[in-house]
Amino acid sequence: LFSHCLQSRQPLLALEAMAEKYVGFEEVTGLAHADFANMLIGGGVLRWGSLQEEIRFAICPELCLSMLVCPCMQKEEAIQIVGSEQFSAYTGYSTRLGYGGNFVDQCQRQPDGSVKSAVLAMDAIDFRGKDNSVTSQMSPENLLRDLNKSVAAFSPVDAESLHDFPVVATGNWGCGAFGGLPPLKALVQWASASQCCRRLHYFPFEQSFGPEFSA
């Protein structure tokens, strides 16, 4: 994990791309997709949840199988899921979430007919009810925790995985309800992905720091 990488000479890889604002990454094919997960994977998808993870599980219902077999994620654990297909489109977000109609997944297919997709589930530190100041979020303990978490998520399981998914699509991980700082979380993920020999395609959504990261 990242504590073992502090002496690494692996360079910080250039960003693959910085998406335009207000663009989501669910329909971008050919990339591994980050899942801004709850420590109990799936979060509130079977109840009232309507944020990033719950939306992904709703439009790709095969992901819900992981809720049966995957235990609560520990601090240095993440979950990687391959082969989930998207069946529905959606509109809006949170309280404005709505069904957007049927969806035909355009991902490439594996020889067995399953889609070539990868979802990388990782839960960020939940700062709700805690000190979420810049000083707190940049403490060595908190930084190392999220670096370890994202390294676990971004690490290719084998050479084929890295070949198929050299780029990870991600965004403002842990920055909504969990209260994380978007520029800091972006840097954490950039460092982790680079250590795993993967590049990032970053989707800042409402944030405006894109040009600085692309420079």
Task: Name the residues annotated as catalytic.
Answer: 35, 53-54
* Helix 140-154 and helix 182-195, axial crossing angle in degrees, nearest 10: 50
Q: Minimal CA–CA distance to 108: which of 116, 119, 100, 99?
A: 116
